[in-house]
Amino acid sequence: MRKIQVKLFGPTTVITADGTALSDLGGIKPRQVLEILALAVGTPVSKDRLVEQLWGDNPPRTYTGTLESYISLLRRKMGIARGRGSALATTSNGYLLDATQVEVDLDQFRRLTRPAPSTRPGDALAGTQQALGLITGELLASEPYAEWAGDERAQFATEYLTACNRAADHALHAGDPHTAITLARAAIETDQISETAWQLLIRGLSATGARSEALRAYLDLRATLIEALGTEPSTTSRALYLDLLAEDRDQTTPATSINEVKTLLALLRDALDDLPHLDLSVNDRKLTARAERLVAAA
């Protein structure tokens, strides 16, 4: 028999063993019970924990009976039996969603994005791409206000960032820089100060030959870190930047070098526009004048 599917990305939905999709699970509290159990699929959840997350410090006097009624309602809705062998099983101190009978999309995501160390980069990348396809909406979108749901969303944001960064690195090692760029950008959208994501983006752009874009990505990283944290990029990021400059100097034709100088001047101009009162040193003014003459001559 096929497993029951519980989908926590987007509105909470259950796909029963016969393929029926359920979004009405009997009300807010029964739905939340299922969500809490699904977050811990395969592990028993105590009644005390359920009570705390459902009602905080103000549970009803008859909370034990109320919980039992919610579990019975969920079983009827999902078409499953009761007892210890149930897909929604009763344990000595609580309840359990049996992982052999129930599959939860968040749990699938976590398994797919945590490959064994011996997994080949291409296979690990494929697993992460499959995991990303499971994300059909915000995690626990049915619970916009519950504190425990907010905590889960915050934890998942970190997991998503790590998965994208790891997969981008796998893509680079698998010789697929374009996918690495896409994944790195997704990571940056999640956390703009993730320097690892910016480094992966720079490496991906460089691998495709888009060195001007890679240079701009570094300067965007630098501006982001200065604005958000008041810090400069790390030694690793600066080394990537210097390697790009050295590569241009050693390998490009004179015409391409002129284009790179134009790019750098444009980036510098953008940066200086935000600092109208900056007074350049004599050496800086001389360097700028020389660069302008070089570009004009080209």
What pTM, to 2 d.p., does this model score? Answer: 0.83
SS3 190: helix
pLDDT tens string 110-158: 999 998 989 999 999 999 999 999 999 999 999 999 999 999 999 999 9
Question: Which residues have a Cβ under 8 Å from the Cβ of 96 and sit 6 or more positions away?
Answer: 37, 42, 43, 44, 45, 88, 89, 90
- The H or E element containing residue 5 is strand 4-7
**C-alpha pair distances (Å), 282 with each of 128, 216, 287, 288:** 52, 26, 9, 10
Q: Which CATH number is 114-251 given?
A: 1.25.40.10
Q: Are 248 and 211 in contact (CB under 8 A)?
A: yes
> So where are the chain's domains?
4-105, 114-251, 254-298
- Residue 192, sorted as left (phi over 0), alpha (psi -120 to 50) or beta, turns out to be alpha
Tokens of 195: 């320097």
Of 95, 199, 121, 113, the residue nearest 158 (C-alpha): 113
Q: Are 110 and 135 in contact (CB under 8 A)?
A: no
pLDDT tens string 77-99: 999 988 778 999 999 889 999 99
Of 133-137, 142-146, 218-222, 286-290, give the lowest mean pLDDT range. Answer: 286-290
CA distance 247 to 19: 57
Burial of residue 229 (CB within 10 Å: 0-12, 13-18, 19+) is exposed
Q: Looking at residue 246, what is its pLDDT?
A: 85
Mean pLDDT score of the chain: 89
Confidence band for 298, pLDDT divided at 50, 70 and 90: very low
Confidence band for 175, pLDDT divided at 50, 70 and 90: very high
Q: Are 221 and 182 in contact (CB under 8 A)?
A: no
**C-alpha pair distances (Å), 114 with each of 17, 86, 111, 118, 268:** 27, 29, 5, 11, 41
CA distance 184 to 25: 38
Of 12-26, 130-144, 170-184, 280-294, give the lowest mean pLDDT range. Answer: 280-294
β-pair type (102-104, 4-7): parallel
What is the fold, at CATH topology level, of the domain defined by 4-105? Arc Repressor Mutant, subunit A (1.10.10)
Q: Are 20 and 28 in contact (CB under 8 A)?
A: no
Q: Are 200 and 170 in contact (CB under 8 A)?
A: no
Crossing angle of the two packed helices 105-112 and 147-173, in degrees rounded to 10: 30
pLDDT at 276 over 60: no
- Name residue 4's beta-bridge partners: 102
pLDDT tens string 35-60: 999 999 999 999 999 999 999 989 99
Share of the chain above pLDDT 90, in %: 77
Q: Looking at residue 136, what is its pLDDT?
A: 96
Kindly write down the DSSP assignment for every residue of 102-140, as one continuous string: EEEHHHHHHHHTS--TTS-HHHHHHHHHHHHTT--SSBT
